[in-house]
A = this chain, B = another copy of it.
Amino acid sequence: MANEVHRSLTLRDVSEASGVSEMTVSRVLRNRGDVSDRTREKVLQAAKELGYVPNKIAGALASQRVNLVAVIIPSLSNMVFPEVLGGISEVLEDTGLQPVVGVTDYIPEKEEKVLYEMLSWRPSGVIIAGLEHTEAAKAMMRSAGIPVVEIMDIDGTPVDAAVGISHRRAGRKMAKQILKAGYEKIGFLGTKMPLDHRARKRFEGFTEALAKGGVEVHDQEFYSGGSALAKGREMTEMMLNRSPDLDFLYYSNDMIGAGGLLYLLDQGIDVPGQIGLAGFNGVELLDGLPRRLATMDACRRASGRKAAKIIAARVAGEEAKSLIELTPKIDFGDTLKRKKS
């Protein structure tokens, strides 16, 4: 007993214990087909007593069906992604599908590897962040023969379906509001991540719309690593020392924006009178700060939900819309003047 090699229980064990054929046991355990109440009882009883756990590997191989949805995201520590995941889980919960998460750390090669790894388990669908992937990755997704939804961005060409906001448009929108409020000397602070395409697109849209208003970004600063809040503080200090005449700071995310806000408040600077601020994301996390940072919500939960719905529909053999643009709303918070000064 003690030294016995471990062997999982099989249908056969349950079959023998209950005196019912393997096939019928299988039917009971899956709630498929008609089985008499008496037989069902016997089977359930035996399965429970033995502590039988079905082997999905064998099941999947035999049925050619896997109830898994591959979800591939850049990071878990960004807060953004857990929320997307929440939306996905919420919808998948009552479809019999299950999300399985893979993380890429914003590295295309890792994304490719993770994708390959996940596809080798033959999931029923893929939800993947962004529209930028290696050629090999795109090829894999195209030839996998399963629904693929790219989320959180729609500025580009999806492999199959896409759900998300236009970051370019988001950048433009914020720029317009800033100009409208009368700010003129604008600084930008962001992450040093050439591979964060969404941040890049926001920045592009932002500068483009400023340009249309005859304004250009006056100073900019990028960071990498470390605590975002602390970095926001430092960068803001550096930038204002260098360019004391700035009247607006646009941050590529709310965390560094919050750091900047705390710094300015420390310094006794009038926000948004003397300097206005805006971030991006709508992070609920920050709700308790002394002022609410102006921001724009990226529709994370909704993205997750809609993407999951597309997958679920397609898996069920239904048609589903394949391009959904969500519209982020600006939240002026307390750090962006609302009218021309």
Which residue numbers of A lie inside 8 Å of B, CB to CB?
Answer: 6-8, 51, 53-58, 60-61, 66, 76-77, 79, 82-83, 85-86, 89, 98, 100-101, 103, 116-117, 119-122, 139-140, 143-146, 226-233, 255, 258-259, 262, 266, 284-290
Which of the residues B54, B255, B287 comes within 8 Å of A230, measured between beta carbons? Answer: B287
B286 touches A262 (CB 8 A): no
Residues of B within 8 A of A54 (CB): 120
**What separation, in Å, do the CA atoms of A66 and B55 have in the docked complex?**
12
Question: Within 8 Å CB of A255, what residues of B?
Answer: 285
Q: 30 A-B residue contacts at CB 8 Å?
A: A6-B146, A7-B145, A8-B145, A53-B119, A53-B120, A53-B140, A53-B144, A55-B122, A56-B122, A57-B57, A57-B61, A76-B76, A76-B85, A77-B83, A82-B82, A89-B103, A98-B117, A100-B100, A226-B287, A227-B285, A227-B286, A227-B287, A228-B288, A229-B285, A229-B288, A255-B285, A258-B288, A259-B288, A262-B288, A262-B290
> Which of B79, B101, B227 contacts A284 (CB under 8 A)?
B227
B residues in contact with A56, CB < 8 Å: 120-122
Within the assembled complex, what's the spacing in Å between the Cα atoms of A143 and B9? 10
A66 to B120, CA, bound (A): 12
For the complex, what is the distance from the CA of A6 to the CA of B284, rounded to whole Å? 43
* Extra 16 A-B pairs, beta carbons < 8 Å, given A55-B122, A57-B66: A6-B145, A51-B139, A54-B120, A57-B57, A57-B60, A57-B121, A57-B122, A76-B85, A77-B79, A77-B82, A227-B288, A228-B288, A229-B285, A229-B286, A231-B288, A259-B288
Instruction: Check if B53 sits within 8 Å of A233, measured CB to CB.
Output: no
Contacts of A262 in B (CB 8 A): 288-290
Q: How far is the CA of A262 from the CA of B258 in the complex (A)?
A: 13
Q: How far is the CA of A309 from the CA of B7 in the complex (A)?
A: 24
**Nearest 6 CB-CB pairings of A with B:** A6-B145, A229-B288, A227-B287, A230-B288, A76-B82, A230-B287
- Tell me the complex Cα distance, A287–B262, Å: 12
- In Å, the complex CA distance between A191 and B288 comes to 16
| Given known A6-B145, A57-B122, A288-B262, contact A51–B229 (CB-CB < 8 A) | no
